[in-house]
Amino acid sequence: MTERRATRGEHQKALAQKNKKSAPKSSKKKWFKRITLTLVAIIAACFIGGAGLFAYYASSAPELDEKLLKDPVSSEFYDKNGDLFATIGAENRKYVKYEDIPQDMINAILATEDVRFFEHGGMDFYRLGGAILANFRDGFGAQGASTLTQQVVKNSFLQNEKKLKRKAQEAWLSFQLERKYSKEEIFEMYFNKMLMSGRVYGFGTAAQYFYGKELKDLTLDEEALLAGLVQRPNAYNPLKNPELAEKRRNTVLGLMYQHGKITKAQMEEAKKVNIQAGLTDDSTRQKFTGSKYDAFLDVVINELEKNGDGSAMAEGIKVYTTLDPKAQQTVENIMNDDSNFPTKEIQSGVSVVDTKTGQILAIGGGRHYGAARGFNYAYDLKHQPGSTMKPLLDYGPAIENLKWSTGQTIVDEPMTYSGSKQTIRNWDNKYMGAITARKALYASRNVPAVKAFKEVGPDKAKDFASRLGINTESVMESDAIGGGDITMSPTQMAASYAAFGNNGVYTDPYSITKIVYRDGKTTKDYTPESNVAMSDYTAYMVTDMLRDVVGSKPDASGTAANVSGLDIAGKTGTTNYSSADFNKHNLPDTSVPDSWFAGYTTNYSIAIWSGYEKHFDPITTWDERRLPQHLFKQIMKDISANVETSRFKKPNSVVEATIEVGTKPLKLASDFTPSEKRRTELFVRGTEPKEVSNEYAMPELSTPYNVSASLDTEGQSINISWEHDAMLNPETNEPLPTTFEVSATKEGGETISLGTTESKDLTVSNTLKDGNYTISVVAVVDGTRSKPGTTSFQITGITDENKEPDTPDKPDVVDPTAPDQNGNNGDNGNHNGNGNGNNGNNSNNGNNNGNANGNGNTSGNGNNGNTGNNGTPPGNNGNNNGSKPPTTPTEPTVPDDGSGKTE
C-alpha cells in the first residue's frame, strides 16, 4: 500500500505551523532589554562624567587652612568715595572650647542644623536625597542639605552661591575636613565661627551680647533662641523682631523634643518664657561696637540679608556702600547732642536719601545709637505716617489721574467717613470753607484730603502709592490722612518723597552698590532700577504746593523747617490716639503718638520721625511736635553747606493762571476780583481755564470832585483842576491807571472836548466863544467811566489894557454937555462885562479904570475919564463914582494910549 501524499493545502498548513513554532520571543522583552541596557549605559556615562567633573572641580578646591577654619574671615565695608570705614570679623569674639559647651546647647544646635552630625562623614545623604527631591519639585536651590561640616567649609573657603562647582568643592573639602579633624574639633569650629547677629560671631559671644551670661548660665529657652539664630541672624534677632524670634525659638524647642533631646514638659515650659525676658540693656551691648557708623552699618547688614547674603560676611566679602561720611557724621553729631531734644526720653529716627538716585547717604538710628543691633528708628520703625501721607495718596494721585490744578476748589466742612458716623476733624477742630488744594495741603486740612482721596478712588490711589514703594493690600479713607493700616519707616518715606524732587522718577532706597566675593573677581550688583512713578507735571505741582508748607504764608504748617537760601519742599505729619485710647490711658487732650517731617531739595531727601519708645507715652507739647522740623533744618543746612543746590525747575507741561478762589469749575480772576480771592496757580498744560469769572462787577468809579476853572491873567488859556480817589488794583493794591476826559458844554449849545490827561489838571488854549459853560471831568479806567465832576464857567469879551490903541485918521468931535449934579453923565454906565477895558466916552472924574467884574462897579479915579458907553456887555449900568467933584468940560482931544479907541 503506498503512502498518501499531502495535498497542497495540507502542506501549506503544516509549513505555517512549523514557522509559528520557530518564531522569535516577544518583541516587548526585546525592547525592555534594550531600554535597560541604554539606561545603564547612560547612568554609567553620567556617573563617569559626574565623577570626572567632580574630580576636576575638587582638584581646583583650595587647601584646608587651620587658621581660616578656626577664625572668622573679616569683611570690609567702603563708603561712596571708596574709603574703608568698617571691618567686621574676628573682633570682640569669645572663643569657646568644645569641652566648655553645655550639652543642652550642643543638643539644640544638632537638632536644628545637623541631627546626624556624629554619624555621617561630612555629607548627609539622607538629607541630600530629600533636598534633591525638593529641588526637582521647586527648582534648583529650593532646599539645602548642608551639614555642620559643610557650613564650616563654606564659611572658611568658599563664597555663598548655589553653583555646582561650589557644591562639589564643598563636598570634597568636607570629606577632607572629616579625615583631618575629629567631630568635636569640627563642632568647635562651627560653634565659634558662625555669624550670630550683625557683627557678633560665635555662640559664646552671642550669649554675652544678648543675655550678658556665660554659656553655662543659659536657660533652655535662651539656648534654643541662640541655636535658631544661625539660619537668619538678623531676621531672628529678638531685639529687632521679637515675634519672628519667638517662632524660631519654639521651632528649635519642637525639634529638640522630636529628636528626644528634651521632654515634652521641658519644651512647653520653655515656650512659655517671654522672648525678651533676660535680654541685656543697651549699655551692656555697647562694648560690641565695631564701627563709628553703627546705624548705617545696621542698614547695610539688613540689606545683605534681604538679598540672600546674610551670612556672606563670614566669608570675607567687600561691601561697597552709599555712605556719605560727611552727612553721616552730621546726623550723628546732631542726634547725640541732648540740647537738640526737648525731653530726655524722646527718640528720633533720621534717614537721608539722595534725591536723584535713591541712595541712602546717612542714617540716624536713634539718640546715642551704638552697635547694639537694637531697634533702628530710621529703618526698622513701621508707624502710621500721619499727614505726610497726603501728597502720596491724595493730592499726587488727584493731579496724576484727574489733572487737578493746585487751585482746585475743595470745601473744608464738617464730614464723616463713608458708611460711618465718625466725624473727620481737622487738627484745630475748625473748618475753612472753600479753599484751594494748595492751601488744603500746606495748612494740612484733613477733610479736603479725604475728599481728594474719594474723588480719585482707592484703586488709583493705591496704584500711585505702590509706584512709590508703598505696598499695601488695600487702602481706606483713614489712610488718606495717614491714620489707617499703612505704616512707613523714615527711610521709605525719604525715598518716596525724593520722587517728587526727581521729576517723578522713583528708586527703591538702597545702601549697597555691589559686593565683591573672596576671590576678588566675582561681584554682585545691588543697584536697583529706577522707575517713572508719575508725570513730571505731577511731581512739580506737588513740589510747588509743598514749598508753601515751609513758606511764610498764614496757616503754613512747616515753617520751622525752612532753611534760608534753599529751595525746599516738605510736609509735616502727626498721628492721633483714638477716643478709647484717651479714656483707657487717661491721656492729656494734647496727646499724639507720632510726629513726622519729610522734606527735600534737588540734592537731598530727609525724613524724620519723633516719638517715644512706648506707644502710650505721648507727645504733649508743641516743642515735641516740632522736633522733626528743627532736626531737619539743622541737618539740611549743614549737609547743604558749600554744595550747589539748584532750584526745582518747572516743566513745559505746567502753566500758570490767576484764578478766582472758590469758583467751580475754576475760572480766571477778573479785574475786579478782590485780592483775597485771587491766586496764581499751576495747571497741566491744556487744562487751564479760559472763562473769566463775573462774580465781582466793576466797582463804581469815584466822581472827580473840587473841579475848578479859571482864565489866565491875559485870557489866552483856561486852567482846569480837580481831585479824584483812584481805584486800586485788587491784586497789588496799587492805583489803577486812570485817564480823565475834560469837556465844556455851552449853555443851550454843543459840548466841546477840551482834551484828556492822566494828571489831575489840564491847561488848554481859550478858543471858546462868549457865553456860560459847564466844565465836566470824567474819570476812565479800562473803558469804564465815572460820573462827571462839574463846575460853571463864563466867557466874556476881553479888553487888553496893554494892547496898542488904534489911532483914528480923524477924531470925531462931540459937543460937550453939562454933567449932572452927581458926576454922572447921562448914560455913562460902567459896563462890567468880562473884559478889562471900559471904552466909555467923556466920563467925568474917571480914568477908565473900571474893573469888569460883572458887578457894574467901576470906580473912576482921576480926571478926564471916559464914560462907559462902549463897554462890553453884560454891564449893569454901573455908576462912575469919581473921587473928585465934576469940572467944567473942556475941548475934546485925541484919546491917549490909556483911553481906548473911539468910534
Instruction: Report the catalytic residues.
Output: 113, 387
CB 539 within 8 A of CB 346: no
Backbone angles phi, psi at 407, to 5 degrees: -100, 10
Q: At what angle do helices 148-157 and 103-113 cross, to 10 degrees?
A: 80
The x, y and z cell numbers of residue 249, run together, are 525659638
Pair type for strands 761-765 and 717-723: antiparallel
CB 472 within 8 A of CB 488: no
Instruction: Please report which residue ranges of 336-456 form alpha helices under DSSP H.
Output: 390, 396-402, 437-442, 446-456
User: C-alpha angle with apex 778: 777 to 782, nearest 5 degrees?
Assistant: 150
Could you give the count of Cα atoms lying within 13 Å of 157 in the half-sphere of its Cβ? 23
CB 186 within 8 A of CB 149: yes
Tell me how far apart the alpha carbons of residues 724 and 701 are, in angstroms, rounded to a whole number. 10
Nearest to 532 by CA among 499, 510, 577, 554: 499
CB 769 within 8 A of CB 795: yes
- Amino acid identity of residue 404, one-letter, is W
Tell me how far apart the alpha carbons of residues 232 and 875 are, in angstroms, rounded to a whole number. 122
Nearest to 799 by CA among 853, 866, 844, 852: 852
Nearest to 78 by CA among 306, 288, 317: 317
**b (16+ CB within 10 A) / e for 809-828:** eeeeeeeeeebeeebbbeeb
User: C-alpha angle with apex 771: 767 to 777, nearest 5 degrees?
Assistant: 65
Pair type for strands 75-78 and 84-88: antiparallel
Tell me how far apart the alpha carbons of residues 88 and 314 are, in angstroms, rounded to a whole number. 9
Measured CA to CA in angstroms, residue 106 lies from 49, 98, 191, 265 at distances of: 40, 9, 9, 20
Give the distance, in angstroms, between the CA of residue 858 and the centroid of all CA atoms in the same chain. Answer: 88
